[in-house]
Chains A and B, each alone.
Chain A
Amino acid sequence: MNAPLTLFEKVWANHLVIDADPSLLYADLHLVHEVTSPQAFAGLKASRRTVRRPDLTIGTVDHGIPTTNRALGIRDPLSKRQIDAMVENCREHGITLFGLDDPRQGIVHVVGPEQGLTQPGLLVVCGDSHTSTHGAFGALAFGIGTTEVEHVLATQTIWQARPQTMAVEVEGSLPWGVAAKDLILGIIAQIGVSGGARHVIEYRGETIHDLTMEQRMTICNMSIEGGARAGMIAPDETTIRYIEGRPFAPKGKQWEEAVEAWEQLVTDEDATFDKVAEIDAGRLVPHVSWGVNPAQTVPVTGQVPSPDSYDDPLQRDAAVRALEYMALRPGTPILDIAIDHVFLGSCTNGRIEDLRAAAKVLEGRKVDSRVNAVVVPGSMQVKAQAEAEGLHDVFESAGFSWRDAGCSSCLAMNPDVIPAGERCASTSNRNYEGRQGRGARTHLVSPAMAAAAAVAGHFVDVREWEGS
């Protein structure tokens, strides 16, 4: 009888080339984008090395690309040079690229799952911290830096210190109007922005089992915001149904073999975790961030907290600085905070279910005249699907701008920059200072909450609107 293992331990063991500390692991899938790869390709060239497995490498462009008027080309000369380098590097090394004119182009963490490349049990790496998204399929997926990108290109392997294991046990049903985004913000509020450091989280329990794949991706996506090395969810029927028939999914006999293998990817009954956190989803409410890190959130029914409510002096100092940056006063009801912008998109909340949730709120309503509201689908496939469902009509009739796919205002590397001093309700993942533009003030929310805020011009409790 073998010792009981966690899901993470099984996937880790399957990829060990050298079992030591750190271990050498073999990567099954390497996702590459334009911002963190050019120096890696240049390094390869300088040392006269080649890409070992272009057939396990895929490229897309997402971070720095415009979301309007693409036919006119990229106006920012630095971004253009970066995209041109990406195209040339992929061409030179025989890497499949979903370029700007490809109907499959999109955010790297939307595209991988959508194309069926992300599969249970794989080891997935990418020069982007939100690679944790792919863990929603029971893959071990984590972000790496540019030197490591070069290392994976050259060797298809990566050195990693063995992380510890952490279970986040979620019980209870998500109440009406409470989204997967609220669940992960609630988890981060509980464990803190470094609560998952040096750990791989497995999200477990009935609530997680009942989530759709897209909701699971929203959860795993923000694992890094809790400091975790990766987040994982065991594959089940929902996972298998999602993957079946996608372009890069296994077919025929290989599909049957794959499903059989995936069914083994569960944490054994008696396996133990180094750390456990428990969350009651039934008590969650919609969250809104008030500060400058993703743990600085409160329920929409709450108020901006006072720094004095923190015992830890470091947290207290951080709260003082956050309030100053966000131009908020303690005790202000969240519902009284007026907004100037709404950004609906990103690898956290730019998928079709996110767009549907927002559109449902917007049906028959108009964006407040003081609000500039934008939808950036996570991929061109998401955009096409939304248009097939008529969602673009709902958004445009309400007064939203309907864009092409990319990372856009999540990190504002493209022209979609939020101006200094202005306030944005954003479905993205980071409310850091300057994240959406120097001086821009970000409030993280779910897609439905963002849509409702766009209509009202300030935050509202979407639970009072849903089904109305």
Chain B
Amino acid sequence: MRPVTTITGRMVPLDRSDVDTDQIIPQQFLKRIERDGYGEFLFYNWAHTDDGTPSSDFIINDPVRQGAKVLVTGPNFGCGSSREHAPWAIQQWGFDAVITPSAADIFRNNSSNVGLLVVELPQEVVSQLVDLAATPGAEVTIDLESQTVTADGIEEHFDFDPTAKDRLLRGLDPIGVTLTHEELISAHEQARDDRLPTTVEAGASTP
């Protein structure tokens, strides 16, 4: 994974609460078995009319918003389905970060795993950023190392899981990191109770 350090870019405001992952990437786009190609379907139902043409009044379709890097949105962002297609779609549209008062638990984990930076800030600060972002050229800088968000008249610290931070800064592969603990995993595995279930069917050979 590409390391995540500092992100500077223009903002797109989406001032709604409880935006669920069904809105971020609707179900009809979950049939593909690839990891890419989801960007054009981001917020599809909001971004398109019934006949599939892009809605000119939905903000991510606005030509002046193209190339923006940071989505600024309301609380409980990414609630609902565990689909990782949601952070994939956000990233593949072009965003590197989401700023929200609160992200849903699974969405936060998924984003961290794919290198989409999710920054949680107090509602008042997010509201200020939403106001700033009304001007299409307004930029924000997110520095993961110092855990700081900076924009015109705003400098705010944010909390971030230190393990995820280290992994993101160094661009580490999470499975590779875990496998460095092989001895501990094996020890736990060997101590497990014999009565615990397996999925091996009666009569089948153990792999």
Contact = CB atoms under 8 A, between A and B. Distances in A.
B82 A22 contact: no
A298 interface: no
B31 A76 contact: yes
A18 B184 contact: yes
A275 interface: no
Interface in B13-31: 15-18, 20, 22-23, 26-28, 30-31
A248 interface: yes
Given A129-B106, A434-B22, A194 B185 contact: no
Contacts, number: 214
Given A145-B106, A433-B45, A129 B18 contact: no
Given A36-B84, A58-B199, A145 B50 contact: no
A49 B175 contact: yes
A154 B84 CA distance: 18
Interface residues of B, number: 64
Contacts of A54: 199, 207
A36 B82 contact: yes
Contact of B105 (A47, A229, A314, A439): A229
B104 interface: yes
- Main SS at interface, chain B: loop
Interface stretch (B58-66, B89-97, B145-153, B187-195): B187-195
A194 to B, nearest CB: 4
A155 B174 CA distance: 11
Contact of A96 (B84, B192, B204): B204
Nearest to B15: A317
A198 B105 CA distance: 6
Nearest to A151: B175
B195 A35 contact: no
Interface residues of A, number: 90
Interface string A26-66: 10110000011011001100010100001111100001100
Interface stretch (A250-258, A330-338, A460-468): A250-258
B174 A159 contact: yes
A79 B31 CA distance: 6
B195 A258 contact: yes
Contacts of B157: none
Interface in A428-454: 430, 432-435, 438-439
B23 A434 contact: yes
B16 A317 contact: yes
Interface in A246-266: 247-250, 254, 257-258, 261
Nearest to B202: A247
A197 interface: yes
B185 A145 contact: no
Given A35-B30, A145-B106, A227-B104, A96 B201 contact: yes
A128 interface: yes
Question: Top 5 A-B pairs ranked by shortest CB distance?
Answer: A145-B110, A145-B84, A38-B33, A78-B31, A147-B113
Given A143-B106, A249-B197, A433-B45, 14 more contacts: A29-B199, A35-B31, A36-B83, A54-B207, A55-B206, A147-B113, A156-B189, A197-B104, A247-B202, A250-B197, A257-B193, A413-B27, A420-B50, A438-B45
